[in-house]
Amino acid sequence: MSGERPDDWSPLGASILKDQRRAYDEMRERCPVAHSEFMGWSLFRHEEIAAVLADSETYSNVSQFLAIPNGMDPPDHGRYRKALDPNFDREQMARVEPLARGIAAGLLGPLHSGIEVEFINAFATPFALKTLCAILGWSERQWDCLGGWVHGSQQAAFNKDPVAGKHLASLFSEHVKANLDARLDFPNDVADTTDALMRTEVDGVPLDDDQIVSILRNWTAGQGTVAASLGILVLHLAQETDLQERLRKDPSLVPAAIEEILRTDGPLVANPRITTRAVKINGRSIPKGAHLTLMWIAANRDPRAFEEPGAVKIERDTADGLVWGQGIHFCQGAPLARLELRVAIEELLAKTKGFELVGDNDPDRDVFPGNGFANLPLRFS
């Protein structure tokens, strides 16, 4: 970065927040390793981020709060992840699909030709969180409480407000533990994921309530990312009507379209790591204990890794994409998220003849660390 101090950069500038993809594309070429008070050291290039993800000894993912399993390093990470893997296996996904499809169909039922809806609040958020409630065997009406927690947590993270974050964490814990207590008092006739978590053991020791709270906090945040992803996918399909019609005629292309659209326009901006030793990255010396921020959406649009990176080409090989991460911390919930996104788009395409964005401008984006939409007005035909 010629003639510019690395700490001149901040992710909270109005111009950056207005279009994070553009801003981070520019930063990747101008200053691929940058520093800011808000984020510590930020990496923007695909090769360097992939190298960090492949080296869990040098780049720790341990969280300051209990975060199972994503906020753990080996060997703890592997032990807890293995115990939780059955919740996302093929058999479990086969059980989830009809639940998710029924929820999507119910939310899409009121749509008719000419109707205008705000898609995020009318479909994306309730679909993701109602699906989680169904998997857990919780009352469907609890989705709204979970949605309030997701939104509040994003705002607390953006504002770096530890008081609000602690309060929200306490409310979430109380909510989960109330459901666990209710399950002990009134067991379900049909086994569900809440039962599975209450029976899960690591090294022969059952998960305690606080550990289950940590796991479900991670899963609930993930469902917020699913909702953000749905908004991004639907915006692209509303704007690219040829692709929308192509997928409507051939739904087998939907999974590839999802991966490629999210590569070009990811729902999560970044993910943190901490150095366990002093390192040098792209000529910059970074000390032990430094905070790194891996800028997913810049790496996924890096022309060194992807030809014409900003173009949506659903035939593209996205194996090197970082939408779900890489390495040992590859998103454990990816099978569920991919299923939900596929089912939602399939149902939306099957139950409509077309949809378009209302208004001439792109809707306002969420702020860091999100990249979805606060609202997305659509018109259906």
Contact criterion met (CB below 8 Å) for 118 and 380 = no
What are the residues whose beta carbons fall under 8 Å from the beta carbon of 148, sequence distance 6 or more?
A: none
Strand duo 284-286 + 59-60: pairing: unpaired
Give the integer Cα–Cα distance in Å for 294 and 298.
9
* pLDDT grade for 8, boundaries at 50, 70 and 90: low
Strand duo 377-380 + 355-357: pairing: antiparallel
User: Looking at residue 225, what is its pLDDT?
Assistant: 95
- Residue % of the chain over a pLDDT of 90: 77
Angle at 151 between CA 150 and CA 152, to 5 degrees: 95
Answering whether pTM is above 0.85, one says yes
Give the integer Cα–Cα distance in Å for 354 and 356.
7
Of 9-13, 32-36, 38-42, the poorest mean pLDDT is in 9-13
pLDDT digits (tens, 9 = 90+) for 271-309: 999 999 999 999 999 999 999 999 999 999 999 999 999
pLDDT digits (tens, 9 = 90+) for 151-169: 888 888 777 788 888 899 9
User: Looking at residue 80, what is its pLDDT?
Assistant: 97
pLDDT digits (tens, 9 = 90+) for 183-213: 988 877 778 999 999 999 999 999 999 999 9
Contact criterion met (CB below 8 Å) for 357 and 378 = yes
Tokens 């000529």 found at: 283
Cα 203 to Cα 5, 82, 83: the distances in Å are: 49, 11, 9
Ordered domains of the chain (ranges, CATH): 6-380 (1.10.630.10)
Of 37-41, 223-227, 318-322, the poorest mean pLDDT is in 37-41
How many helices (H) does the chain have, and how many strands (E)?
15, 12
Q: Is 41 helix (H, G, I), strand (E, B) or coil?
A: strand
Strands (E), 226-368: 270-275, 279-281, 284-286, 291-295, 355-357
* pLDDT grade for 9, boundaries at 50, 70 and 90: low
